Structure 1
Amino acid sequence: MATMRSVSIALWCKIKDYLRAHAVPSKDEQKKYHHDFALTTSFHGVHNLVNNGNSGVKSTIRKIAWVSVVTVFIIVAFWQVCMRFINFYSWPTTTSVTVQYVENIEFPSVSFCNLNRFQTKAVNNLSIAFFMWNVVSAVLLSTSIDAEENHLQEVIDFLQRNQNFSIKEFTRNYGFYLNKSTLLKCSYFGVPCYAEDFEHIFTEYGNCYTFNHDEGSLNKKASTPGSGLSVLFDIKQSEFTDEPSLGYVDAGITFVIHSANIRPKFDGQGVYSPVGMHGHVSIQHLKVFASWILIQEHPWGECNPYLNLEYHEVYSTYGCLQECKSRFIKNECGCVPFLLPGIGKECDLQQLYNCVSTALYRIEKFNICTVGTYNSTCPVPCEETDYPATISYSTFPSEKAAEYLSTKLGKNTTYMRNNLVYIDIKYQELNYKITTQQKALSASVLLSDIGGQLGLFCGASMITIIEIMEYIITNLYWICIFLILKAPNVPLWTFNQSRYRREIQEC
């Protein structure tokens, strides 16, 4: 220990000897250095702070005035630079809307659903059908599955008699169907289309059908406004089973216009067309890229460009929510509801009631699947395609058309007014509306703005900043040498042996 102390003292003495050889300049030399810096620096106004050999009251007043001016403008420049940094780190954005006209434009996908879920002729026990609908809709809408105890017992008895019962197959076989009797007319840009051109999908409305479902199938491009898809449905009200006391009081078709690579979301986006009406739907193509919306990533925006979905080609908030719920339910119940994406055993009615309903309640209560902000489970997409629609109606069929159609379709006027839904979907204009969210400030703009403020108020540049840094470092170096050389007068180490204290003082 004593040897280590001796080595430390010897090293300390050598350092002091070196610093004495390179001592701090005299006060006159330091004063000359400060004077030369003031005269030569590119920082504007500083040279006016020295007297330049002049003396007297006028020189003093002039110096005080220039000190005030330089100080004020340094404060203003510092304030402006701080405001620029505060503005930059608030992550501002600007949004621009561009209308781009084209010679032709891709036609979107359209998914159609009957407002009636199941057909009477296929259901022996209607209460089971109604309960089944509650189960089906609860999975997509995150509502609780509610049933009275005697109703549940009725379902359990039914399952015991039908061990291999599948909700999926039951819905496919006994829900709304599309064939020549329900699709009475279909025309796509003047070319006939048929039920085979529609793809079957499951939604909260049971069986639904998507036209132009694949980007490589039909996807004909519109070359003139006013042309598109025209369909005539027979919804067959006589086969309705939905219970009016439960709120199912409408008759007609609901449909969603969407991109081909995104599953339709009916809740909040479905457009309704009633029976006895001709719906004229005018659509636009929004491009945020049809309409597309380009949204900035965090922290400028709330999207996350690195999120990908397992069962959906393109990221969407709705698809993300479906996959989130599917994963949670699979972990909790060991099965996957057929309306949700995922690979695994299909949930039966007992699992849906006993486990899935509890899982949905927990998802909602504990915010397991959240939407919106960057740190939520499902933030907004960075790119989004939308097809806003405007719909107007006219009575269908007219009295004269009823005479013609009754002969052609073999149906009377009353039947047509109560069962037929006519829908035309066409482009309003051949253009894209592109909504783009951009960074309002980039790093280069921030540097330019800061440089402008420093140049305006102080005439400073990067070279000026280097000069000031050199000046400050030089003065700090002199201060450090002064303090180190004065250190022997201060007991830096405290030893019990007076011998070491004497050695420190002697060096």
Structure 2
Amino acid sequence: MNKWTKMTQGMDQLARKSNEDIFLSRTPSVVWPSDVVRNDVTTNKNSDSNQILKHVLTDIASRSTVHGISNIVSSKSIYTRLVWILAFLACLGLVVYQLVKIFVLYASFPTQTTYKLGRHSDFPSVTVCNNGYAEYDYSYTHLVENMLVNCKYAQVNGSCETPSSYVSSKYGTCFTFNPPNYLTKISGLHGGITLELNLETHQQRNIEYGMRFTVHDMNTFPFPFEKGITVSGGDVGYISITSRQIKRLGGDYGDCQNEKQIYGRIYTSKACSQLCWEELLYDECSCIDPDLDSLLWQVGNITGSNCYNKIIGDPSPCYLRARELYLSPERRNWCDCPLSCRENIYSLKLTRHQWHTGPNVRLYLDKVCEQIYNSSPFSCELASLYSDSFREAGDNFMKVVIYLQDSAREIVEEEPLYQRSQMLADIGGSLGLFIGASVLSLGEVIEVFTAIFCRRKNSHQTNSN
């Protein structure tokens, strides 16, 4: 082989290598026929899966119970389909608007008030105070056993229990009866409680002889000064009771107190407010408000003077500062005293006439001296009354009958105005009116989501293979 032949062969080899490099540079990867076939199969499978999903969704929509959807799917004309789409969207907007109004109304927890008649379940407690001590003389205390001559329930002698007593800042000794509940079945004068009382006027400096009566729920604070009624000495008084029970819902429907107690007594809004003021006044000034029958005095055994100047009767500077503090916004928020969830409101009406007159007064005086003081008339504590006129002696005694005017009472009750059942009915009505949907339409929604989920799951498995 000559030199020229060898050179020619070398150039041919170099050309072939260059062509191979150019081909490889233009073709970054080699696609084998099997790969092309596999990709075509995957694409076909995905396409088939989409077609199946589209067919399933179209089938569900064509038989949907929701008005408008089937018409949108089945319409052949694009204009008809557009009209149905706009109509459906308009109705869907109205449904959303109605649902928002329904939920807002339900979330506001509206109430309505109903009035009805019901029987009394409990006879109220009766608190009695001697009105002769408008300015209390702390040197003397009336004893219940000296004041109570006779007590009867439903005209039955000896049926009363011993009353409980407390010391009032305005009236001195007061005592409370808790009559049995069977009295609620006997309305009128033949029911209730009858009291014969000895006022012990010989121990009093006040010429306004009489007794103060008030009724209230058992184990609540009495307010004889503000809610009581006075029967004068020498009279027979008939006090009729009418009541109204108020029931409040509380919770989401309003703020009311149900189970709280104050100093071992059942909560009332009035007692809470008064105690809030009294506690502030006593902490600031160590005195009590003379315009109130002190509740702290009843339960706390406090010893405080009158907050008013005894000479001129004006409030002390400390009292005025405490009052300004109590009325400040910060203190008002601190004194949180909502209304009771269940409350009985009592109204009293008094009719009266003169009791013992003439010689009958002396006979009754003899009875009281023997029964109460265990002494003869002339050695009795009431002996000074024998020298008084019949009218003056008669002012030392009184008789009172306290009874239910009627066995029925008015019940005022808060009730939910918009309850959950009504809300569900309104939701169903709105969905049915505008788009024809119902609870069973949820099955179609579940069916749609199931079809989409299955398609995605199958597509994922296909891509994995």
TM-score, normalising length: structure 1:
0.59
Aligned pair 1:414/2:366, yes or no? no
What RMSD, in angstroms, separates the aligned Cα atoms of the two structures?
Answer: 4.7
Question: How big is the shift at 1:257?
Answer: 0.7
Residue identity opposite 2:67 in structure 1: H
CA deviations on 1:237-258 (whole Å, 9 max, x unpaired) are 676546xxxxxx9653321111
| Counterpart check, 1:451 vs 2:409 | no
What CA distance in whole angstroms lies between the structure 1 residues aligned with 2:326 and 2:225? 17
Shift of 1:81: 1.9
For residue 461 of structure 1, the aligned residue among 427, 438, 451 is 438
Q: Any stretches of 5+ residues in structure 2 without a counterpart?
A: 1-41, 310-315, 366-384, 453-465
What aligned pairs does 1:98-117 form with structure 2 within 5 A after superposition?
A: 98-101=116-119, 106-117=122-133
In structure 1, how many angstroms separate the alpha carbons of the residues matched to 2:149 and 2:318? 39
Which amino acid counterpart does residue 353 of structure 2 have in structure 1?
T
- Provide the secondary structure at the position in 2 that maps to 1:395: strand
Distance 1:455 1:208 in 2: 71
Distance 1:107 1:344, change over 3 A: closer
Residue of structure 2 aligned with 1:402, choices 331, 335, 357: 357
1:309 correspondence with 2:261: yes
1:210 has 2:175 as partner: yes
Aligned to 1:231: 195
**1:254/1:270 contact within 8 Å kept:** yes
Decide whether the 8 Å contact of 2:163 with 2:177 is kept in 1: yes
Residue type at the aligned position of 2:249: Q
> Are residues 1:379 and 2:397 paired?
no
* Matched residue SS, 2:358: helix
Equivalent position to 1:364, from 323, 326, 343:
326
Instruction: Rate the CA distance shift 1:452–1:24 in 2: closer, same or farther, 3 A.
Output: farther
Q: 1:311–1:323: 8 Å Cα contact kept in structure 2? A: no
In structure 1, C-alpha distance between the alignment counterparts of 2:109 and 2:446, rounded to whole Å: 30
CA drift of 1:355 comes to 10
Q: Counterpart amino acid of 1:253?
A: M
In structure 2, which of residues 283, 287, 296 is the aligned counterpart of residue 340 of structure 1?
296
- What is residue 349 of structure 1 aligned with on the other side? 305
Q: CA deviation at 1:308?
A: 2.2
> Contact 2:361/2:390 (CA < 8 Å) preserved in 1?
yes
Shift of 1:96: 3.3
- Residue 404 of structure 2 is aligned to residue 423 of structure 1: no
Deviation track 1:23-50 (CA, whole Å, cap 9, x = no partner) reads: 9999999987875564243322222234
Contact (CA 8 Å) 1:282, 1:391: kept in 2 or not? Answer: yes
CA distance in 2, matches of 1:229, 1:370: 41
Structure 1 residues 402-439: Cα deviation after superposition (integer angstroms, max 9, x where no partner): 23632423474422675554321112233465443222
SS of alignment partner, residue 87 of structure 1: helix
CA deviations on 1:128-151 (whole Å, 9 max, x unpaired) are: xx6xx6xxxxxxxxxxxxxxxxxx
Task: Say whether the 8 Å CA contact 1:109–1:258 is kept in structure 2.
Answer: yes
Q: Which residue of structure 1 aligns with residue 162 of structure 2? A: 197
The answer as to whether partners of 1:251 and 1:274 remain within 8 angstroms in 2 is yes
Highest CA radius of gyration, 1 or 2? 2
Long gaps (5+) in structure 1? 1-19, 119-129, 134-169, 243-248, 476-507
Distance change >3 Å, CA 185–CA 385, structure 1 → 2 = same
Distance 2:405 2:298 in 1: 38
The match for 2:94 is 76
SS in 1 for 2:270: helix
- Over 3 Å counting, the alpha-carbon distance change for 1:39 and 1:334 in structure 2 is farther
Structure 1 residue 83: Cα displacement: 2.2
Aligned to 2:65: 42
Alignment of 1:291-306 (within 5 A): 291=245, 293-305=246-258
1:318 aligned residue: 270
The answer to whether the 8 A contact 2:94-2:434 is kept is yes
Q: How many residues align?
A: 376
- Structure 2 counterpart of 1:17: none
> Any idea what SS the aligned residue of 1:116 has?
coil
1:357–1:202 Cα change, 3 Å: farther
Contact 2:169 2:297 in 1 (8 A): no
Residues 116, 344 of structure 1: CA spacing in aligned structure 2 closer, same or farther, 3 A cutoff? closer
For 1:50-65, what aligned pairs fall within 5 Å after superposition?
A: 50-52=73-75, 54-55=76-77, 60=79, 63=81
What is aligned with 1:271? 229
Q: Distance in 2 between matches of 1:341 and 1:24?
A: 91
SS of the residue 1:393 aligns to: strand
Q: Against the structure 1 CA distance between its residues 101 and 348, is the aligned structure 2 distance closer, same or farther, given a 3 Å change threshold?
A: closer
Q: Calculate percent identity across the aligned residue pairs.
A: 21
Give the structure 2 partner of residue 259 of structure 1: 217
Q: Return the letter of the residue paired with 2:427.
A: I
1:98-156 per-residue CA deviation (whole Å, 9 max, x = no partner) reads 43458xx64321111233326xxxxxxxxxxx6xx6xxxxxxxxxxxxxxxxxxxxxxx
State the distance in 2 between where 1:92 and 1:427 align: 35
CA change 1:263–1:29 in 2 (3 A) is same
Offset, 1:90: 2.0
- Identify the range of structure 1 (218-227 vs 341-350) with the bigger mean alpha-carbon deviation: 341-350
Q: CA deviation at 1:359?
A: 7.4
Contact map agreement 1:111 1:211 (CA 8 A) in 2 = yes
Change in Cα spacing, 1:327 to 1:237, as seen in structure 2 (3 Å) is closer
Supply the AA of the counterpart residue of 1:114.
N
**Aligned-partner SS, 1:221:** helix
Is 1:87 the counterpart of 2:105? The answer is yes
- State the partner residue of 2:23: none
Match of 1:159 in 2: none
Give the alignment's TM-score, normalised by structure 2. Answer: 0.63
SS at match of 1:321: helix
The change in CA–CA distance for 1:359 and 1:30 in structure 2 (over 3 A counts) is farther
Conserved 8 A contact 1:95-1:435:
yes
Cα pair distance change 1:320/1:369, threshold 3 Å: farther
Task: Report SS of the residue matched to 1:278.
Answer: strand
1: CA distance between counterparts of 2:95 and 2:359? 82
- Distance, in Å, in 2 between the alignment partners of 1:97 and 1:276 is 41
Given that 1:336 and 1:346 are in contact with CA atoms closer than 8 Å, whether structure 2 keeps it comes out as: no
Whether contact under 8 Å (1:116, 1:205) holds in the other structure is no
Secondary structure of the residue aligned to 2:227 is coil
Matches within 5 A, 1:10-49: 35-36=58-59, 38-49=61-72
